[in-house]
Each structure stands twice: as C-alpha cells, then as structure tokens.
Amino acid sequence: MTERTAICPGSFDPITYGHIDIIQRAAVMFDKIIVVVMKNANKSAGSFSVEERKSFIEKTVGNIPNVEVDVYDGLLAEYARQKNACAIIKGLRAVSDFEYEFQMALTNKKLNPELETVFLTTSAENMYLSSSMVKQIASMGGDISHFVPESILEEISNRLRKD
C-alpha cells in the first residue's frame, strides 16, 4: 500500500500547544506528516524568521518519528502535489475560523482535485490560544509557559522582550 502523507501548513509564528496538539493527532492518522512553514498573504511579515519558526517546530515535534518539518514559499496545492500528499490538516478553534478555512479548502480542491482538507477540532483547552496572543503576552514580559513548551519558551520570551 502507498504511504499516506498529509501536510500541516501554517504561519507558526511561533508554534504553540494548539498547533502541537493538532500535529500529534494527525501523526496518528497518517503515515507521514509534513509540517510546513508558509506565507499567509493576509498577515504581515511576522515576528520570527522562517528559519526560527522551523527550528521551534523541530524542537517541539521533531521527535515524532513520522513528522518532517519544511519551509515553502508558494502555493499549498502545488506543494502538496510535489510531496504526493493526499490531505491538508487544519485545526479549527471556533466558528470564526470556519468561513476562511472553508474558502481555502474549496480553493485548494480546485487547484488540486486529488487533495482533501481534513479539519480537526481543537482540544477544549486550546480553544482560545493563538500565536498573536502568545506574542503579545511575551512582549509585555508575561508568562507564556501555559502556551508553548519548555524547549522553546526562553528563546521566544527573550527574543520578544528584546523587540
């Protein structure tokens, strides 16, 4: 049987427990998961470079045997085709996420008809969590230990406090 690969795309600026939960659950469902840092045209340049974001992801989910981490500057539908992926995995937090995610799923399906988008509902404890909230708290010297793992906590806090 062919290996079933799924893509977990996102800005990951930075990765949080919300993303990690989705990646861990997706890794159980598919043979291989590629977590890929991409550009969101609706968001500004971001606080961390793509290399920093990739490194944070590697430090948090890099130990899961069937998870790879990558960076791509282009269309998600095209990337999925190149990687022979059958699905995109997205986490849904609230109704407010839905309309935009639905639009992206339909567009990606148009661009790559063999590609499915699979939505996983976020765990209840991560409903409110977002990278922008984490950045805001860290930049004001607040404690972000409930939102990001120990392995990247200090790096993120120091970097944002400096800014």
Q: Which residues of the chain form contacts with ligand PNS (CB under 6 A)?
A: 9-11, 38-40, 43, 75-76, 104, 107-108
Is 146 assigned a catalytic role?
Answer: no
Q: What is the largest CA-CA distance in the chain?
A: 51
47 among known catalytic residues: no
The CA–CA distances, whole Å, from 128 to 6, 91, 94, 133, 147 equal 25, 12, 9, 9, 10
Q: Looking at beta carbons, which residue is closest to ligand PNS?
A: 10
Q: How far is the CB of 145 from ligand PNS (least distance, A)?
A: 22
Distance set, CA 120 to CA 70, 154, 156 (Å): 21, 29, 27
Least distance from ligand PNS to the Cβ atom of residue 137, Å:
18
- Pick 18 or 27: Cβ nearer ligand PNS: 18
Out of 25, 32, 83, 93, the active site residue is 93
Q: Are 115 and 79 in contact (CB under 8 A)?
A: no
Residue type for 89, please?
Answer: I
Catalytic residue list contains 93: yes
Known catalytic residues are 19, 43, 93, 131
